[in-house]
Structures are given as C-alpha cells and as structure tokens.
A and B are shown apart, each in its own frame.
Chain A
C-alpha cells in the first residue's frame, strides 16, 4: 500500500523508513510550500487554523502522487486539532478521493483502538519485524532530533555564513541512508564529526531564546519562517521546547511533561488544550535557566495559545523575561516577521547591557 503522513520538521525521514520496513511504499510528503498552502486554504473552512490548511494541502499533494492511506495523529482535549483528521478525511472523501485515514490516538487512553489501527499497518509482518521497525524508527527520530538541535547551538558561532545549514542538509542525507540501528548510530558519529568541523568563533556571547507554542508551528520550519535558523543567523541560540520524541513519549508510556506542568501551576493549574499549559510552564523554566527571552509561536486564532498568551503577561512581568508572540497565518511575506525578530533581538541585547551595568 502507498502510505503518506504529515510533514513535520525532519521526521518524514524516519517515518519513510518505518513504512518501507513494514512492506509498504511511502509517499514522501513535500516540504509545505506556497502551493501547499493555496491548495489547503482552497478546500479548508476559512476559519480553520494554519496547521489544518497546511496538512490538508500536504495530503492533497500526496494524493496526486498516488497515496492510498494517510497515517496521522489525533489528540484529546479542548484543542480542535484533535478532530482535524476526521474533518480532513471528510473533505477528501467529498472531493472524491478514496483514501484510508488511520488516526492514531494516544494509546494510554485508548489502547484497544490503538492496537487495532496499528494492525492495519503491520499485518503480514512477524512480531520481530514490527519490533525492529519500530525501535529503529525510534532511534532514527532520536538521532535526527539530536543533530538538528546541535545546529541551533553551532550556527550562532559559525564563521562562514550558511555553513551550518549546508552541513545539516548533508547530515540529513547521511541519516536518511542509514537503515539499521548500527548504521544509524554510526551516521550520527559521522554527522557529529561534520558539525564539529565547522569553524566557529567561540568568543561570541550569543543571546539565548526559548521557543514555545503550538506543536505544529513549532516543529515545522515551513510554517514558522524557519525561525530557529533565522535567529541562529542573527547570532541567537534558539532552543525549542518541543521535539517530536518528547511528544511521542509524553503521549505513550512515559510522563516527561510533569515537571513542566508543575512549573506552570502557580499561573495555570488546569488543561486549556493543545500546548497552552506547557507554554506557560516552559516560560517559567526558561526564565529560571537564565534565558534572555521567549518567543511564542501560535497559529492565528489558536485558543490554547491565546489563553496562555494572556496568562504569560503576568508570568513575564513577575519573572522579568521578555516575550514576543507571533501569530502565524497565511502571510508569506517575511518582512513583518524579520522586523519583529530584529526588534526583539535589540530589546534583549539592551536588557542584557543594562543588567551588566553598561550605559546605553
């Protein structure tokens, strides 16, 4: 069967391997472009948020390439994204596509449902093949996340502009080609070697920014103007609070989110859907760790992030940490975002100088 899935950061590289290891053909989702967005906006309800439109566009592009099944995630709680897959499915069927939608819900809540759906994809394979595929994919995602996060540490120090970006692209190819756990681990070694060979100016003292917000726009560079890379080029270490693996862990068997929720508690002690509570908690944690600022990314009209934005006013005042909220929608012009980022960087630098007692 030809299977496709959402485009989220570097993860398609890992999911392609999983699907092929299970004996299917993967239809690689394209990096969302203006065309993807136009396609998605055309068929989506006008008031739906950016992730909904991008995903719909991505599926339509994959259907053109013959995809027969979409695997995606659901979700629980008051964020409407949990229901998006159902609506995507309906819209695509209305458009006359025959497509099988497999929506994986967090297994700890609906174990039987999860296993039933998993079987749709794994049937015909022995338990050991399935286990090998799953655990290798896990390793691959982990390595992808590690290598990606390293680029955000190196880029602000790079001597030659764009070198980190070029090496990172090379790394993705190397990891993509690795097919067993051993190969993946040795590809990681090769990538580390490449990244460490980038000439850096260690004397720099870059700003440190935490990126918080809704998961899709935080994880997908095409939806957030590649904000982590852009900040890196401005000489800022931009770390994000969400990695795909965290989400997978938190929503399967582990509970890595508890300390973040605990940090949010004085300000927000209940679920507001999506990543709202985590945005509040992570801001508290970033401030404790001495970050220079926090940038919140939210799809326009995203209720959980609107709730957390209002609460963050108090958090940032109490903890004296600057916050910039960017609402993302269909605009593709970069000028507006760059202006805000530049001004925010200026703001953080002057705050730092003031702290160090330098007269501005």
Chain B
C-alpha cells in the first residue's frame, strides 16, 4: 500500500502523520519539540515506523512548520511548504466549503480566509504571543490547573471577569489583581478565554471578513473554553475538526500525495534516517559586512546541507 508522510515541526510541538491514498490516517504522532527539532523528528520517525511497520510504503514526504528546512534534510522531503498553505489544504479537504480558518498554536496564531477553495487572504501574529498556546499554558500553571481541564472549567463560569488581553504582561497582572479580589477560578479562566479571543480578533483578525464555515484548529482548539468564547464573540458556529492538532501535517501529506501522482518518485531517506547521526554546526561568514550566520548540517560526518547566506557563496556543498 502506498502511504504519504507529513511532518510539521512547530515551535512547541512536532506532528507526524501518515495517510494512504484514500486519506485514512495510518499513524499520527504528536510530541514536544523541546527546542531539539532534529532529535524530535528522528524519534517521531522511529515511532511512525513502529506503528506502520511494513504495512505501507512511504511514497512521498512533505514537511511544514517553522522547522521545515531542517526537517526536510533529515527525512528527505519532496514538498517543503509553509504552514499557512498546509493548514488551508487540510481544512479545505476535510471540511469542504471552509471560508475561515482560525489557527492557534504554541507560539503563533493565524487567520486564513478562503473563498471557493482557495486562500484569498491571511494574517499571522507579529510581535506578541499574548494570544497563543504558550500564554495559556503559563497561566494554567500559575493557577495550578492542568491545561487539559482549563477549557472545561471556563464553561462552568457564571460571571466571567474582564481581563485585559492586549498584552500578556497586562493580562497577567490584571489576572492576579482579580484573583486577589476574590473572584472564582472558573470566572477568571472564562475571562482569560474571552481576553485571548478578543486579542486574536482585534489583532490577527483585524479587517478580515469572517464567514462560515469557520474551522478552528491548532493545539489550542482542544480548549473548549476558547471555542465557546469564539462562538460567543462571532455569534456563529465553530467547527473543530477531529484532527485539529495535526492539520498542518495532514495538509503537507496531501501535497506529498499530489507530488507523487505527478512525479512518481520520492526523496524519502527511509526509516533508517532515524538512526543517522545529524550534527548542526554554525559559523559567522566574514567575507563581507553582512556577517551571515551560516548553518551546516552534517549527516554521519559528511556535509548534508548548508544555509543562512545572503549571497550564493555557500550554496553549493
């Protein structure tokens, strides 16, 4: 059986997924990137191998996410795609007639506007992480609540408190203040969810026409409190697809499938790649005043990839 591997290396989590021609999910791995993309991808590859074994033959590989360059070297990718396109591909495939995608991940959040099946506009958060998963994680920790229970508690609120959501520093001090006044944890959590949604709609979603169907995906979509806050703010139904956590990986796996149909070959290095010794090294190029940071990736001692230069000097290995 033919199968296609999608790898999404995000800032906080790494996702691997294997689909077949009929879009059945044969394997899916969700793991923490922990600042070590190479190790994480290799471990993920091993886990995928354990799940699918010899059942399927990987005929195409796609990589996405902020760590896509490095991932493409490790696994040998046919498609290297940005996460906006990947998320849009998955959503429009799994939820036909999607017109808005709300995506909130660990470090970034984005909105994608689609019409007639194509992306017509998008935006990503630029300078602030107030509206993202890391912020929620941090606040859950501060309140001593496991992040998994966070959303459920928000739904139990009877009177959500208003929390300043513009900036995570403002939000945090506002939240502490409200705690000290004696508000219940449920009301504070619901207030935080509303603040995050307000911040998202005012920043990332500013000036965008949010029409249904609205799909909410990314790690934060697990949070039913945020989903409820979106529904309240937009007064529209919000769809959280079954595979909301791994949509980027699914999207790029679909693109890898298209790639195979066109070219009938793959650059996949095989599952053995999980055992290769990859070592990154970097240096500052002093040939001109640009002082580029050149990064070199060695595979079992020999140079496998190099990037970071502005001119072409370091392009050839």
Chain A residues packing against B (C-beta within 8 Å): 30-31, 33-35, 161-162, 165-166, 226, 300, 309-310, 313, 322-323, 327, 329, 331, 335-336, 338-340, 342-344, 346-347, 350-351, 354, 360
Asked if B1 is an interface residue, CB under 8 A from chain A, the answer is no
In Å, the complex CA distance between A340 and B82 comes to: 8
Asked if B315 is an interface residue, CB under 8 A from chain A, the answer is yes
- The dominant DSSP class at the A interface is helix
A165 near B120 with CB under 8 A, answer no
A347 near B82 with CB under 8 A, answer no
Partner of B315, one of A162, A340, A342, A343: A162
Q: A-facing mask of B73-85, CB < 8 A → 1, else 0? A: 0000000011111
A33 near B122 with CB under 8 A, answer no
Q: Which residues of B contact A162 (CB under 8 A)?
A: 311-312, 315
Asked if B124 is an interface residue, CB under 8 A from chain A, the answer is yes
Q: Which residues of B contact A310 (CB under 8 A)?
A: 207
26 A-B pairs in the complex with CB atoms less than 8 angstroms apart = A33-B291, A34-B291, A162-B315, A166-B311, A309-B207, A310-B207, A329-B127, A331-B127, A335-B66, A336-B66, A336-B126, A339-B66, A339-B82, A339-B84, A340-B124, A342-B84, A343-B82, A343-B85, A343-B122, A346-B84, A347-B118, A347-B122, A350-B118, A350-B119, A351-B120, A354-B118
In Å, the complex CA distance between A35 and B312 comes to: 23
Chain B, interface residues (CB within 8 Å), range = 20 to 34
B312 near A346 with CB under 8 A, answer no
Q: Which residues of A contact B290 (CB under 8 A)?
A: 31, 33
Q: Which residues of A contact B81 (CB under 8 A)?
A: 342
Q: A-facing mask of B81-121, CB < 8 A → 1, else 0? A: 11111000000000000000000000000000000111111
In Å, the complex CA distance between A166 and B309 comes to: 13
| B150–chain A nearest beta-carbon distance, Å | 28
Asked if B310 is an interface residue, CB under 8 A from chain A, the answer is yes
Asked if B36 is an interface residue, CB under 8 A from chain A, the answer is no
A165 near B66 with CB under 8 A, answer no
A161 near B315 with CB under 8 A, answer yes
| B49–chain A nearest beta-carbon distance, Å | 29
Q: Taking CB as reference atom, which chain B residue is nearest A327?
A: B126
A322 near B311 with CB under 8 A, answer no
Lowest 3 CB-CB distances: which A-B pairs, in order?
A162-B312, A343-B84, A342-B82
| A229–chain B nearest beta-carbon distance, Å | 8
| B85–chain A nearest beta-carbon distance, Å | 5
| B308–chain A nearest beta-carbon distance, Å | 9
| A185–chain B nearest beta-carbon distance, Å | 28
Asked if B24 is an interface residue, CB under 8 A from chain A, the answer is no
Asked if B289 is an interface residue, CB under 8 A from chain A, the answer is yes
Q: Which residues of A contact B121 (CB under 8 A)?
A: 322-323, 347
Q: Which residues of A contact B119 (CB under 8 A)?
A: 343, 346-347, 350
| B251–chain A nearest beta-carbon distance, Å | 12
Q: Which of B260-313 contact A (CB under 8 A)?
A: 289-291, 310-312
Q: Which residues of B contact A340 (CB under 8 A)?
A: 82, 84, 124
Q: Which residues of A contact B117 (CB under 8 A)?
A: 360
